[in-house]
Amino acid sequence: MLYTMNPLNTNSVKKLVLKNTLKTHYSVSALIDLIVKQIKEIPDYLKLKQDIELILMICTMIETICTDSEVSIDKLEAIRGVYNQVFEMTTDDHILLVNIVNFLHQNKAFVYKKGAFSTARKVLSWIAKVVVNLGINSASNNIA
């Protein structure tokens, strides 16, 4: 018995709408690819593996891009993903990278922007909805 396969009709396949973890995964991958491409344009970039300026540049790029993004991204994992694609990393290299990023953050070389502002905005939005709903409910109770 022979099985024949009909060719796929790609015209009927619509662009996939990514949600939740797929959207986050796609966003992180795109972010990492973008930064890796820019790092590889630097001459002799392999010599800069433990350079604080390179790490600070990557942190700043991630913060700048993530500020405008609607997706919540683990920035430290994004930095590690960039380094994994650009350099050969050992366990000690990963520990050193995390320590440098934490040092830069603690000394305010860069600031985590998205997480705090996003969370605060969500909380304020929720409070505003509750206040509006309470105002509507109390107004309707006064009318009745």
Number of domains observed in the structure of the chain: 2
Within-domain flag for 73: yes
Q: What is the pTM of this model?
A: 0.62
DSSP characters over 30-59 = HHHHHHHHHHTTSTTGGGGTT-HHHHHHHH
Q: What is the pLDDT of residues 24-73, one digit of tens each?
A: 778 888 889 999 999 999 999 889 888 889 988 988 888 887 776 666 77
Statement to judge: residues 105 and 119 lie in one domain: no
Statement to judge: residues 140 and 117 lie in one domain: yes
C-beta separation of 36 from 13 below 8 A: no
Statement to judge: residues 41 and 86 lie in one domain: yes
Statement to judge: residues 63 and 88 lie in one domain: yes
Within-domain flag for 76: yes
With cut-offs at 50, 70 and 90, classify the pLDDT of residue 75: confident
Within-domain flag for 13: no
C-beta separation of 101 from 76 below 8 A: yes
Statement to judge: residues 90 and 126 lie in one domain: no
| Residue ranges making up the domain that contains 32 | 21-111
Statement to judge: residues 72 and 118 lie in one domain: no
